[in-house]
Amino acid sequence: MSKHGDLKAILEQEGFAVIPDFFTKEETAQILSVITNADTTRPTFRKAKDLFAIRQFLKEIPEVTGKIFNDKLKNFISEVFGNKYFVVKSIYFDKPGQSNWFVAYHQDLTISVDRKSEIPGFGPWTTKQNQFAVQPPLELLQGNFTMRIHLDDTDENNGALKVIPHSHAKGLYRPETIDRNIETETICNVPEGGIMLMKPLLLHASGKTTNDRKRRVIHIEYSSSNLPDDLNWSEQYAIF
């Protein structure tokens, strides 16, 4: 078995996995350099005191794709998941060092698509910043995975994700029903250059920053599913 051969099994069982030191410091610096030099005036760039975010990140800054999807990452995805997956969503998050922004426990239940269409099993629908989002059938979400590329050392003091292991296997799991006597919480510390894999249905949250350190993360969602009735992903990038 190759060194990454058991990662998919861990991801399916636990709902998440952390691979430290995947990108070198030089590689993360190159990625950040491209982001720093980008034009931030477009509407998909969200700027606030507590957050700077770029939606449709790979589409907005195409120069960064070669830095992220180098041979090492493409070989990793192929080895762990196969060659049928493609990117369906990408967001860059920059959580400033003094941010008081936090996210409560939730599952990632929606996908981003190009338009609204009445399709059985798809709904409810929402629209944010001219982007259509819909909750698809659970089977579609269960086949997807998310990758978070960390460009800073991240721990419980600057917004590392907190997760409930195995919660992805329980279908729709409302945060208010979490039984703290049964469930355990894990804090996913990830060093600079590390990546975190997670299933969309995994319950996860993040806290406020308390140590005055930045937390910059590239969030990428992958799928191998085609959408029905000529519905299209709002963002799609072929890895292979």
CATH number at residue 23: 2.60.120.620
Whether the predicted pLDDT of 95 surpasses 90: no
Whether the predicted pLDDT of 168 surpasses 60: yes
> 232 in a domain, yes or no?
no
> 174 in a domain, yes or no?
yes
Average pLDDT of the chain, as a whole number: 91
| Helices 7-14 + 71-81 axis angle, to 10 | 70
Rounded Cα distance, 45 and 40, in Å: 6
Rounded Cα distance, 6 and 215, in Å: 28
Is the separation of the CB atoms in 34 and 61 below 8 Å? yes
pLDDT digits (tens, 9 = 90+) for 15-73: 999 999 999 999 999 999 999 888 777 776 776 665 588 889 999 999 999 999 999 99
> 239 in a domain, yes or no?
no
Beta bridge partners of 199: none
Which range marks the domain in which residue 109 is found?
7-223
Number of domains in the chain: 1
**Residue 189 burial (CB < 10 Å; 0-12/13-18/19+)?**
middle
> 231 in a domain, yes or no?
no
> 236 in a domain, yes or no?
no
> 98 in a domain, yes or no?
yes
